[in-house]
Amino acid sequence: MLDATLKTATGPTPLRILFLAGASLMVLTGAAQSADLAVKAPPPPPALAASWAGFYLGIHGGYGWQKDEFSQSEAFQLQAPQSINGIRSQGAVYGGQAGYNWQFGRAVTGLEIDFSAADIKGSNGVTETVPFGGGALTTAITLGERVKYLGTARARLGWLPTDNVLLYGTAGLAWERLDTTTTSSQIVTQPPNSQIVNLRTPVDKFGWVAGIGAEVMLGSPNWIGRVEYLHYDLGQTARSSTTIQAGGFRDNSTAGTQHIDVVRAGVSYKFGEATKFASVPYAKAPAISAPLAGWAGFYAGVHGGYGWGENPYSLPGALTMLNSGDIGGTRPTGWVAGGHFGHNWQSDRFVTGLEADLSAADLKGASNTVTDVAGGSSIGLGFDDKVKYLGTVRGRLGWLPTDTILLYGTAGLAWERFERAQTSTQTSPAGSVVTRTMSPGDRFGWVAGVGGEVMLGSPNWIARLEYLHYDFGRINGDGSIASDIPGNVINASITAGHQTIDLVRAGVSYKFGPDTGPLAAASPLYAKAHMPVPLQSWAGFYLGAHAGYGWQQNDFSTVFFLNAQDGGIHSKGWLGGGQAGYNWQYGNVVAGLEIDGTATGIKGGSIPVTSSTLTETLSDNVKYLGTARGRLGYTLTPNWLLYGTGGLAWEHSLRKFTDISVFPGVGIQTGIDEAARDQFGWVAGVGVETFIGSSNWIARLEYLHYDFGGVEVTTNTASTVAGVVSTADKPGRQTIDTVRAGVSYKFTP
């Protein structure tokens, strides 16, 4: 009998974050006279260097420089026109980061979120002294800016020049909480008197961030040090305006752009260990068996619960012109319900993850109402708050006290759609006039909490109960006024408070998986020597670009002058940008996480409206769009993927007001005012992808619907007084529909 020696061919299991120890799948190659012949396994592969793959948590600290290039004219405040030309700021930055790395040979890719407290501050101003009465009048105006918080959601792409050093580039979406301050003083020397006004306003601004960095393993693959540089571009943050008066007087303020440059160092702890291989000295070709159930995998679910908030601001009666007391604070309460998606990674009894969620809410609360009564008439004033949406992007870190119970902590970035309404009521023997003005806004902050999950009989259905604490800081403006001018003596302050929301919610999730490596072609229990052809896998990290066309609709209307209705903006234009994400494949099901940023030329305007001598036109210019989404798809064939997608959405646009007034016998006055607007909401859509040949390049075509809800300030007046007209604004709904095509490169697991 011919004696033949058989050799086996094995390949390293694809690099995964979590792997299952067990017998390696060995497929026999070569010729054999008997199908039942036992074969000798080759020597195990050489030990790999420590892996960069894994979930990590860390802290960082550094220094930042801000440059805001606006020019604000003070021509209407000073006798000789002057402008405040920009603000330069600098200061400390410190915070934390969470993310996940995937390694493909010497390439390392990843997704990361971070949150930083900051103290980047600066100011600029102008001063003028002129003769006044028997002395002099000095007017001083100072503008200040202070960056309080910074946050990002970014993709990373790096290369390993050595096994323990990583060089990388990074880019994504960025947020800042900016405090803007205005101090205005007028001081008269003779007779001596003064008036000093301080105002502070918190604003949330959004844009993009990009940078570079280097990381090094600190003696072990778990502790990693880093140094990185990040450039934040927040676009236009100030208002721009131009006024051309009859007779030729011109006043001009420009917005410019705001940039922040940050250099920071940090350290992270990476969970997991270096990849290991298991082999058996002699084995028959094994059958493919399902891996053990675990917590690792992509999941999607729903939740509902109850929340309560607090916003203890205070508005003194001296500034409302009502002498019956101060208006102080709201405590909204109500239900929340929504959905969440994310991915877990498991390392022994540690479970780590990234999660995003979006919740509709109905948290409502009202302040006290102050009322002055005199001569048979009364005036009342009060406020009420409503939280309509809540959203988060968070990291999670948990521990398994038993195989089916997970206890975890979680923290990250938080968003709310917040509506503040002011209601004033005037009553008299002639009737009543009730005016209600509602101002919507998007506020950002941080969220942290704890929770517990339990498997419901199987590892795929998971129930949860969690508590989340949202902190949005100061969402109200504050300030003070001090005046000893005869006839106008006042000393009062507005406090902004500190808005928080506490939430208890329960939910259920379906977890796909567990995560496995790409499947190989099936082989019989005993095989003759041959090389199986691996199936093409959708799993892996990808980077790409897209382009397309978009349409914006905003069907609001407002009363702007003598009961004329203004509004209704329809826009359209091109768009182009990039995307990054990761797919996991479970048989024919493909799930993933994706972030994208898109520049656009979507522009449009309203129909000009004329009332009396005034004509007004509104226009929008959508500059950027961004999303953080989950994806869930199905492969009808190995090379074609149909998917649905949904998540959080952001829009940065410019709103322009153009007013032309005609004054008979005098001339024409033109006013143009433009302000940056950041809107947040939800996005959902569908798409199709296909591999381009047998390469790692993937083409896509997708439709996305963005919904930002009502984003306009509205005022409604109900009057029973003769001669006072009742009016009603329509808040409308702002949406954007896009169709875009793209291409991505997927790194092979």
Please identify, among 281, 313, 342, the residue that sits at the C-terminal boundary of a domain. 281
Same domain, 272 and 307: no
Over range 451-479, report the average pLDDT.
95
Domain for residue 191, yes or no? yes
**Whether residues 488 and 551 fall in one domain:** no
Q: Are residues 220 and 129 in the same domain?
A: yes
Say if residues 227 and 214 touch (Cβ distance below 8 Å): yes
Provide the whole-model pTM: 0.86
Cα–Cα separations (whole angstroms), residue 204 to 152, 248, 257, 415, 626? 13, 37, 15, 10, 16
Among 28-42, 373-387, 445-459, 677-691, which is the least confidently predicted range? 28-42
Q: Which domain holds residue 454?
A: 302-511
Q: Tell me, letter by letter, the H, E, C secondary structure of 384-401.
A: EEEEEEEEEEEEEEEEEE
Q: 248: pLDDT confidence band, cut at 50, 70 and 90? A: confident
Q: What is the pLDDT of residue 50?
A: 75
pLDDT band, very low/low/confident/very high, at 246 (cuts 50, 70, 90): confident
Question: Residue 611 above 90 pLDDT?
Answer: no
- Per-residue confidence (pLDDT) for residue 530, from 0 to 100: 40
> Which pLDDT value is given to residue 5?
37
- Pick the closest to residue 313 from 500, 476, 106, 86 (CA basis): 476
> Are 427 and 567 in the same domain?
no
pLDDT at 211 over 50: yes
Residue 501 and residue 581 share a domain: no
Is the pLDDT reported for residue 377 higher than 50? yes
- Considering the domain architecture, whether residues 138 and 227 belong to the same structural domain is answered as yes
Interacting residues of 730 by C-beta distance below 8 A, sequence separation 6+: 555, 556, 557, 558, 567, 714
> How confident is the model over 698-702, as a mean pLDDT?
98
Give the confidence band of 247 by pLDDT, cuts at 50, 70, 90: confident
Q: Same domain, yes or no, for 271 and 308?
A: no
- Mean pLDDT value of segment 481-498: 88
Residue partners of 308: CB distance under 8 A and separation at least 6: 331, 332, 333, 363, 501, 502
> How does residue 323 score in pLDDT terms, banded at 50, 70 and 90?
confident
pLDDT at 498 over 70: yes
Please write the tens of the pLDDT for every residue from 555-600.
999 987 767 788 899 999 999 999 999 999 999 999 999 999 999 9
- Of the chain, the percentage scoring pLDDT greater than 70 comes to 88
97 part of a folded domain: yes
* Chain mean position to CA 432: 44
Above 50 in pLDDT, residue 96? yes
Residue 38: what pLDDT?
A: 40
For residues 78 and 445, which has the higher predicted lDDT (pLDDT)?
445
Give me the CATH number covering residue 214: 2.40.160.20
Domain boundary among 477, 511, 545: 511
The pLDDT of residue 304: 98
Which residue, 217, 249, 281, sits at the end of a domain? 281
**In 181-316, where does DSSP find H-type helix?**
none
Residue 430 has pLDDT above 50, yes or no: yes
Q: Same domain, yes or no, for 482 and 568?
A: no
At residue 319, the pLDDT reads 83
Q: Is 215 found in the same domain as 100?
A: yes
How much is the pLDDT for 749? Answer: 63
Return the closest-CA partner of residue 745 out of 94, 210, 107, 298: 107
Q: Assess whether 105 and 181 both reside in one domain.
A: yes
Domain match, 364 and 408 both: yes
| Helix and strand counts by DSSP (H, E) for the chain | 1, 39
Indicate if the pLDDT at residue 31 is higher than 90.
no
Q: Is residue 224 part of a domain?
A: yes
Residues 390 and 476 in one domain: yes
CB of 628 within 8 A of CB of 393?
yes
Q: What percent of the chain has pLDDT over 90?
A: 71
Tell me, what's the pLDDT at 209? 97
Q: Give domain status of residue 595, yes or no.
A: yes
User: What is the number of other CB atoms lying within 10 angstroms of the CB of residue 443?
Assistant: 21
Of 154-163, 234-243, 278-287, the range with the highest mean pLDDT is 154-163
In a domain, 414, yes or no: yes
Question: Does residue 180 belong to any structural domain of this protein?
Answer: yes
**Given a cut of 60, is residue 184 above it in pLDDT?**
yes
**31 within domain boundaries:** no
Report the pLDDT value the prediction gives residue 535, as an integer from 0 to 100.
57
Residue 529 reports pLDDT greater than 50: no
Q: pLDDT-derived band of residue 624, with 50, 70 and 90 as boundaries?
A: very high
Average pLDDT over all residues of the chain: 86
Most confident of 81-85, 158-162, 495-499: 158-162
Q: In this structure, is residue 10 part of a structural domain?
A: no
If you write DSSP's letter for every residue of 405-423 in order, what string do you get? EEEEEEEEEEEEEEEEEEE
Split into its structural domains, the chain has a count of: 3
